[in-house]
Amino acid sequence: MKLFLVVILIVLTAFSLMACGTGEEDAAPDEMVVAPSPESTPTPTLEPTRDEIEPYATRPDFLIREDDEELTVYHFLADLDYLMWVLENNFPFMYTAYWARGIDINLLADNARRAIIDTERLDEDIFFDLVEEKFTPLMLIGHFAFIPPLQFQLQLMLSDVMGAHLMFHELADLPHVRRFYSARTTDDISDFLEYFEARTFDISITIKEDESIAVVTIPPFSGDSEEAENKIIELYARLNDFDHLIIDMRGNSGGWPDFFTGFIMGRHTDIATSAELFVFFKDGEYITRLEPYALTTGILPARAPGRSVFGSIDELLAKNEFPQLVQGDIDRFTYAFSATAHITPPVGVGRVDFDGEVWLLVDERMFSGAQIAAWLAKDTGFATLVGEITGGCWGGFRLLSAMPNTGILFQFDAFYITDRYGRPLEAGTVPHHFNRPGMDAMETVLALIAEGA
């Protein structure tokens, strides 16, 4: 039951990633739109210029709703301000989102502000839909998301069963959080649970080019993988009959990558393989500064190391060369430490001796666990990557925060993680070979194979 609920939450995240497009952003307003103070006028009609606005990060005092007070436009704007204040002080990808993905978070907030002011009869549900729409581009970065009622309900179940989501129940017990979500949860989610319980994770295997190429297509990692594991065991029993193994992970939105790292990568070695990571993050004490709406661990259990391993960024930079480090990103952080990702051979299936070439097809629709799989495949030399730069959405364990008026929860990753060259994993993994003009990744890799590359 515990694993089943974890899988549901991962699949919900994967669905949200697949639903988020990279379409054009709203047109930028000429000026940042700001509502007037409640003291100056009862209706939001004034639009001060950007120079008259105090930066979000310097305004920790927000308009807070009284217990029985009806929400007004000023409360909704205060929640938007709070969201931006939390992101500016804690979100590790404020600048990465812009240079790596072209997402201007401040512009998203400006557009949300304009929509809040322009919307008549605004309530919590309309506000939730509005901010979710305006911040949709950011949902492709660092697992940022607003928590919908169904996910909240499932996380409560998981917290009750596992006790793994540290302090999630404390956020859930805040009166304004409970008020928002309890009014929007359903007593019967049996059909939903049955649907997910019936899901299985499977792969497809095809043979190409005169039986010399085996192609394994891997969808998002979710559900029972026993059938997929059996297919890999059967394929690997005759893998040396082929000259090339092509693994197609395009469009894989993520999940736990253990199937790939264990049953595929792990089969090619009889010893544990590792890859080095470097982790940067903001001052951890910010967690206490944000009380009573504290940032807490969310979907995933806390995996932050003890403070004994925290080091200064200067010390880490002095010991390592990072030719691809983005200094503008690093200037936001306080601490750093190194970590290691391990690829362990699966138990009881044995190593495969494959003399052929392994290729991995990648694209920008790969996120989270799929992006980690691509990075590991490249960093360890397991495969030659062909396609486009992958998506991101990976920054360690998840954080949660509650808006102070509506009680809506939002989440994002805590860490800024780089490879050994200093490139943030959030910026995606760069393939060895990009798609050739007029060709997709499969056509490109077949052309490379035909040319003897």
pLDDT at 437: 97
Task: Check pLDDT > 80 for residue 60.
Answer: no
Task: Check pLDDT > 60 for residue 294.
Answer: no
- Average pLDDT score, the chain: 77
Confidence of residue 310 (pLDDT cuts 50, 70, 90): low
More confident residue, 11 or 155: 155
- Omega within 30 of 0 (cis) for the link into 29: no
Cα–Cα distances in angstroms (integers) from residue 359 to residues 64, 382, 410, 434, 453, in the given order:
55, 9, 38, 13, 11
More confident residue, 13 or 299: 13
pLDDT at 284: 46
Q: Which tens digits make up the pLDDT trace of 146-174? A: 999 988 887 777 644 333 355 577 778 88
pLDDT at 122: 94
Q: Which tens digits make up the pLDDT trace of 233-256? A: 888 888 888 999 999 999 998 888
What DSSP string runs through 355-392?
-SEEEEEE-TT--THHHHHHHHHHHTT--EEEES----
Q: Which among 420, 263, 288, 426 is positioned nearest to 341, based on CA atoms?
A: 420
pLDDT at 271: 67
Angle at 12 between CA 373 and CA 425, to 5 degrees: 30
More confident residue, 203 or 18: 203
Alpha-carbon span 363 to 190, nearest angstrom:
35
Q: Per residue, what are the HEC states of 105-146?
A: HHHHHHHHHHHHHHCCCCCHHHHHHHHHHHCHHHHHCCCCEE
pLDDT at 373: 92
Alpha-carbon span 429 to 221, nearest angstrom:
19
Q: Which tens digits make up the pLDDT trace of 175-194? A: 888 899 988 877 667 666 66
Q: Which tens digits make up the pLDDT trace of 328-381? A: 999 988 888 888 887 877 777 777 878 899 999 999 999 998 999 999 999 999
Q: What is the mean pLDDT of residues 392-408?
A: 84
Q: Counting every residue, how long is the chain?
A: 453
pLDDT at 22: 40
Residue 83 tokens, joined: 């969201």
Q: What is the mean pLDDT of residues 214-228?
A: 83
Confidence of residue 289 (pLDDT cuts 50, 70, 90): very low
Q: What is the mean pLDDT of residues 16-36?
A: 39
